């Protein structure tokens, strides 16, 4: 018993004598035990710090009166003078810090960030006392629609690999390189093949007199250009 009394005395000493009660969360707009009996907000008419809270939130009360019954109420608006929404009611029989869960959705549908004020009104042997906390109500946003899957542009085909590029280049080189080659080869080849073909008959012919041979050679030489031209043209015609 002595211990209990000592504890009570210690608690009383640790708590301001006329504290009555105070709201610690959300932060109150002001606390003054001398005017705490002035409705609706314990003597504080102007709004205080405004705290954003979820609809499901808690009001924390430091209770310094041994016996008290409190109502937690909500008023909507920037600085409401009435608090029609009853959020909670609780009786206390001991000093202490109490957390009271409340659901601000009891106020109905409000816009996100709607200003409001929580009022705590407590009745004890010291009369009816008030205190307020100014808040804004966080309303859960509509779950965002999954972004309409706008058709994402199909990825560009990858640039040709170096292998493909070299293959193309090689193909082009082969194609372009092949075309001139036969004509050139035909021209030179025809000329080259023409000369021996024309020369051989004269050399293979039964060797008559050198002069005859020379004459034959001259004739052959004279005949070469038209013959070579004809052969060359034939070769070109074949190639074409």
In terms of DSSP bridges, do strands 127-138 and 114-124 run parallel, antiparallel, or are they unpaired?
Answer: antiparallel
* Residue 30 or 115 having the CB closest to Cu ion: 30
Residue (76 or 122) nearer to Cu ion, CB? 122
77 neighbors 168 (Cβ within 8 angstroms): no
C-alpha span between 46 and 64 (Å, rounded) = 25
> Can you give the binding site for Cu ion, defined by CB under 5 A?
20, 65, 126
Name the nearest CA neighbour of 23 among 76, 82, 84, 88: 88
Pick the closer one to Cu ion by CB: 18 or 185: 18
CB of 118 to Cu ion, least distance (A): 20
Q: What is the spatial distance between Cα 190 and Cα 199, in angstroms, rounded to a whole number?
A: 14
Query: What is the closest distance, in whole angstroms, from the C-beta atom of residue 65 to Cu ion in the complex?
Result: 4
Least distance CB 133 / Cu ion (angstroms): 19
**Residue placing its CB nearer to Cu ion in the complex, 53 or 92:** 92
Closest distance between Cu ion and the C-beta of residue 28, in Å?
Answer: 16
* Beta carbon nearer to Cu ion, 84 or 127: 127
Write down the least CB distance from residue 59 to Cu ion, Å: 18
């Amino acid at each position: 018993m002595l211990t209990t009394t000592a504890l009570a005395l210690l608690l009383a000493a640790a708590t301001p004598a006329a504290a009555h009660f105070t709201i610690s969360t959300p932060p109150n707009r002001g606390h003054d035990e001398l005017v705490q009996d002035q409705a609706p907000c314990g003597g504080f008419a102007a709004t205080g710090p405004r705290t954003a809270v979820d609809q499901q939130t808690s009001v924390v009360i430091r209770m310094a009166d041994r016996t008290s019954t409190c109502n937690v109420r909500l008023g909507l608006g920037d600085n409401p003078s009435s608090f029609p929404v009853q959020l909670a009611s609780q009786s206390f029989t001991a000093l202490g810090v109490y957390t009271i869960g409340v659901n601000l959705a009891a106020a109905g549908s409000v816009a996100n960030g709607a200003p409001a004020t929580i009022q705590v009104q407590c009745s004890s042997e010291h009369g009816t006392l008030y205190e307020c906390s100014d808040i804004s109500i966080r309303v859960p946003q509509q779950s965002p629609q999954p972004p309409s899957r706008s058709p994402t542009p199909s990825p560009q085909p990858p640039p040709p690999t170096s292998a493909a590029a070299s293959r193309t280049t090689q193909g082009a080189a082969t194609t372009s390189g092949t075309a001139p080659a036969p004509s050139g080869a035909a021209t030179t080849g025809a000329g080259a093949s023409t000369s021996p073909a024309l020369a051989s008959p004269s050399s293979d012919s039964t060797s008559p007199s050198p002069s005859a041979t020379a004459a034959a050679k001259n004739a052959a030489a004279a005949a070469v250009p038209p013959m070579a031209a004809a052969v060359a043209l034939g070769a070109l015609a074949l190639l074409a």
